Amino acid sequence: MRVIRGIGSFLNELLMEIAGGVVLTLVACLVLAGLAVAFVWGWGRSPLVAGGVGGALLAFLGYGGWELLRHARPGRRGRLAGVAATTLTVTVVFVVYASSCNCS
């Protein structure tokens, strides 16, 4: 009986992991497609604003990377640094999953 429960538990965990990976890949592809559509639409409206927003986003992600890699100082990290580091982490995860789908 324990063997059957163990196999059932293993299969349940395996299926949930596969389903989670599929959902995360689907969300990453949709986010990537949405960002591409928004950038193309913005570029058609105003290339200067679209380039500025893209540059500001890259600068924000760069700041998040710098905050993740620098030596931690004693004391509290600022909220903006935490948000930038979290945004960079989520972006890296989405890029990794979006690169595995056929939409990129």
pLDDT tens digits, the chain, 104 residues: what are they?
A: 777 787 888 888 889 988 888 887 788 778 878 888 988 998 999 999 888 988 999 999 999 988 888 877 766 678 888 889 899 998 888 888 777 766 54
Identify whether 39 is part of a domain.
Answer: yes
| pLDDT value, residue 75 | 65
| pLDDT value, residue 10 | 84
Q: Contact at 8 Å (CB) between 41 and 53?
A: no
Identify whether 104 is part of a domain.
Answer: no
Identify whether 103 is part of a domain.
Answer: no
Quote the distance between the C-alpha of residue 65 and its chain's center: 14
Number of domains in the chain: 1
Identify whether 11 is part of a domain.
Answer: yes
| pLDDT value, residue 101 | 64
Domain around 66 = 2-98
| pLDDT value, residue 76 | 62
